[in-house]
Structure 1
Amino acid sequence: MYNPKAFAVEDLPQLHGMMAECRLALLVTHGEQGLQASHLPLLLDPQQGPNGSLYGHMARANPQWRDLEAGAEALVIFAGADAYVSPAFYPGKHEHGKVVPTWNYQAVHAYGRAEVFSDATRLRKLVSDLTDRHESGRTQPWRIDDAPAEYIDSMLKAIVGFALPLQRLEGKRKLSQNRSPADAAGVRQGLAASPDPQDQNVARLMSVFSPKE
């Protein structure tokens, strides 16, 4: 990832927080069949290994798990909040006009080599933990035990799990840190005034991480 120092995030708790905010990650591998990618919900255990470990599963019919089994390096992309930045947000537009559009966003790239597993007990716990995470907050959260046991057993046979110890993390938070405080304030105000919730989210991040006047 192209990552100028002004945008780089190196603090491990911040990196883990950015990863946890992304509900659907992108797993990329390169193997005998070339590049493959799958969109997957993942669990992060920040205590496993120096950079944490990721846990997930995919359909057994998905050939990508064989790349993992063969020891291919995996890249997992966690895309965070993003927003288009209009040149109209910059005070400099009215002063000299030397401004162009850009994009503010945050992302984490995680790298490692996975262990693949098919053990039913381990898969059941993984699926249960993933379900609990995404059902939390619901009035009547669904639990894996709500389905017939034989049905769940058949579903577990159709998936493959993986554990991915993270060897390297790259974080990027591009929030107008390379602009003047006045320009950053203009972007923050422009995005905050937008009706788009994603723009408003980036404005909130900018209030914490971008330069202040």
Structure 2
Amino acid sequence: MYVPAHFEVPNVEDLHRLMREFPFAILMTNGKNGLDANHLPFELDPAAGKQGVLLAHVARNNPVWQDVKSGDDVLVVFRAEDAYISPNWYPSKQEAHKVVPTWNYRVVHAHGKITIRDDERYVRGVVAKLTRTHEASQPKPWKMGDAPADFLDTMLKSIVGIEVEIEQLVGKFKLSQNRELRDKTGAAEGLKAQGDVAMGQAMLDAIPEQQR
């Protein structure tokens, strides 16, 4: 991924935060049948490995777990909010008109080695972790014990675990950091006014304290 210096995010904690907030990612593989992309929710274990370990599962009928082998290189792409940026939001446009549209976004690329985990105990643990994470906000969180044991056993047999040990994290937060302050704030407020509050706020948050 091309990352100009002003869009680079070197802080691993910032990258992990995005991965936790936007866990539905793209697993990209290049196995014996060629390039493939699968869209999966991932659970991040930030304390494992050098830069964290990603846990997920796929349907047993999904050929990806047989197309690749443990130890293969894979790429997992996490994407947060994105938005079109209109030149009309830049105050500098009114002076020189030397502005063009662009697109802002936040992404993290996790490069790593995949391990296929086709064992029921591991899969059960992955499902339990994902469930606890995503049910936490519910008034009455669903738990695995709520389902009949025989039904749950059947469902768990129909999925296969996947683990990705992260070897390199590359983050790109393109939030108009290369524009002057008035253009940054103008674009951010333009986004918020049209309802793109998350991206607008992310742009404002990216402005260094000394420039505010």
Q: Same fold (TM over 0.5)?
A: yes
Tell whether the 8 Å contact from 1:106 to 1:172 is kept in structure 2 after alignment: yes
Q: Which residue of 2 aligns with 1:47?
A: 47
The alignment of Structure 1 onto Structure 2 pairs a total of residues equal to 210
Q: Which residue of 1 aligns with 2:87?
A: 87
Give matches, 1:134-173, under 5 Å.
Answer: 134-173=134-173
- Residue 206 of structure 2 is aligned with which of 191, 206, 209? 209
Give matches, 1:28-43, under 5 Å.
Answer: 28-43=28-43
Tell whether the 8 Å contact from 1:68 to 1:115 is kept in structure 2 after alignment: no
Q: Which residue of 1 aligns with 2:190?
A: 190
Gaps of 5+ in 1: none
- 1:124 counterpart = 2:121: no
Please give the secondary structure, in 1, of the residue aligned with 2:201. helix
Q: Which residue of 2 aligns with 1:20?
A: 20
Percent identity between matched residues is: 45
Match of 1:71, as an amino acid? G
TM-score (norm 1): 0.94
Give matches, 1:92-103, under 5 Å.
Answer: 92-103=92-103
Tell whether the 8 Å contact from 1:68 to 1:113 is kept in structure 2 after alignment: no
Question: Which digits, 9 at most, give the CA deviation of each residue in 1:15-52, with x for residues without a partner?
Answer: 10011111311100011111111110110010001101
What is the distance in 1 between the residues matched to 2:192 and 2:4? 25
Q: Which residue of 2 aligns with 1:60?
A: 60
Q: Which residue of 2 aligns with 1:72?
A: 72
Gaps of 5+ in 2: none
Tell whether the 8 Å contact from 1:118 to 1:160 is kept in structure 2 after alignment: yes
TM-score (norm 2): 0.95
Q: CA deviation at 1:121?
A: 1.5
What is the distance in 1 between the residues matched to 2:165 and 2:87? 41
Q: CA deviation at 1:82?
A: 1.1
Aligned CA-pair RMSD: 1.3
Tell whether the 8 Å contact from 1:28 to 1:37 is kept in structure 2 after alignment: yes
What is the distance in 1 between the residues matched to 2:74 and 2:50? 17
Q: CA deviation at 1:173?
A: 0.5
